[in-house]
């Protein structure tokens, strides 16, 4: 399989703390790759380095073979690399439908001049975005909530909305930061089904950082393990959970289950 995202030698220090040290990983095209590790392992910092939220002090990030190490997050997004956050960042005063319609980048109606000189083209483009939003709401099981304000959604519904917003963008790689956090069991199955569908039916590649080992075990192959800011191991989840080094990293021998 081809490699969609790769990192090598990534390092980042904050004051006297070495958050990430000489870290590397690969995300194969079409995979759902998991990233795990004990608290303080450096997963969140690595995610920020991969997505461009912060820059590494050493190392390189390649997306589809292109060096994006110093690109801003919005420039990586335009290349097709999208990232979500542990705490959903929806527009609370907009409805579910409006949140989705706002998501596509560089819409014609965002510019002042076309609003007057190309009003018909702007209206046609808006119609296309609207129809796409209806399709995405159906995929994400959000149709019944289309007119509900995002601020009034439950934690799980906000996660579905955030994931749905990535579908409104022309992207190939989605970095998910703890998608299961704050999601109740009733919606967890819906969330996992949506990730699988985006992967199998829409060809989206995923890198998921998550503490919920049940979600990782059911969704991800392979799984990458970090500890103390560095790479520890990688492989199928069943192999990872039996790896003595991984078990030791998780607080001295607690078996992952």
Q: Please report the pLDDT score of residue 255 as a whole number.
A: 45
Confidence (pLDDT) at 88: 63
Task: Read off the pLDDT of residues 216-247 as tens digits, 9 standing for 90 and up.
Answer: 999 999 999 999 999 999 999 999 989 999 98
pLDDT in the model for residue 105: 56
Low-confidence ranges of the chain (pLDDT < 70): 1, 86-89, 105-123, 125, 251-257
3-state secondary structure the chain: CCEEEEEEEEEEEECCEEEEEEEEEEEECCCEEEEECCCCCCHHHHHHHHHCCCCCCEEEEEECCEECCCCCHHHHHHHCEEECCCCCCCCCCCEHHHHHHHCCCCCHHHCHHHHHHCHHHHHHHHHHHHHHHHHHHHHCCCHHHCCCEHHHCCHHHHHHHHHHHHHCCCCCEEEEECCCCCCCHHHHHHHHHHHHHHHHCCCCEEEEECCCHHHHHHHCECEEEEECCEEEEEECHHHHCCCHHHHHHCCCCCCCC
Q: What is the pLDDT of residue 51?
A: 94
Whether the CB-CB separation of 170 and 128 falls below 8 Å is answered with: no
Beta-bridged to residue 36, according to DSSP, are 225
Q: Supply the pLDDT for residue 129.
A: 86
Q: Residue 200's pLDDT is what?
A: 94
Topology of the domain covering 3-90+170-249: Rossmann fold (3.40.50)
List the chain domain ranges: 3-90+170-249, 91-152
């Amino acid at each position: 399989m081809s490699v969609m995202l790769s990192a090598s030698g990534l390092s980042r220090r904050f004051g006297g703390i070495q958050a990430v040290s000489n870290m590397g990983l690969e995300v194969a095209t079409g995979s759902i790759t998991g990233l795990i590790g004990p608290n303080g392992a450096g997963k969140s910092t690595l995610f920020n380095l991969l997505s461009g939220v912060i820059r590494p002090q050493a190392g390189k990030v390649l997306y589809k073979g292109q060096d994006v190490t110093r690109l801003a997050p919005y420039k990586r997004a335009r290349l097709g690399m999208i990232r979500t956050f542990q705490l959903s960042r929806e527009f609370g005063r907009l409805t579910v439908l409006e949140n989705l319609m706002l998501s596509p980048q560089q819409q014609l109606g965002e510019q002042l001049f076309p609003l007057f000189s190309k009003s018909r083209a702007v209206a046609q483009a808006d119609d296309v975005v609207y129809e796409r939003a209806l399709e995405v709401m159906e995929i994400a099981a959000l149709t019944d909530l289309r007119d509900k304000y995002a601020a009034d959604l439950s934690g799980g519904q906000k996660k579905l909305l955030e994931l749905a917003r990535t579908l409104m963008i022309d992207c190939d790689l989605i970095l998910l930061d703890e998608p299961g956090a704050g999601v109740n069991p009733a919606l967890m199955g819906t969330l996992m089904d949506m990730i699988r569908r985006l992967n199998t039916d829409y060809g989206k590649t995923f890198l998921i950082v998550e503490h919920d080992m049940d979600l990782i075990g059911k969704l991800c192959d392979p799984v990458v393990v970090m500890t103390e800011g560095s790479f520890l191991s990688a492989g199928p989840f069943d192999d990872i959970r039996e790896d003595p080094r991984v078990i030791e990293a998780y607080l001295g021998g607690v078996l992952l289950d």
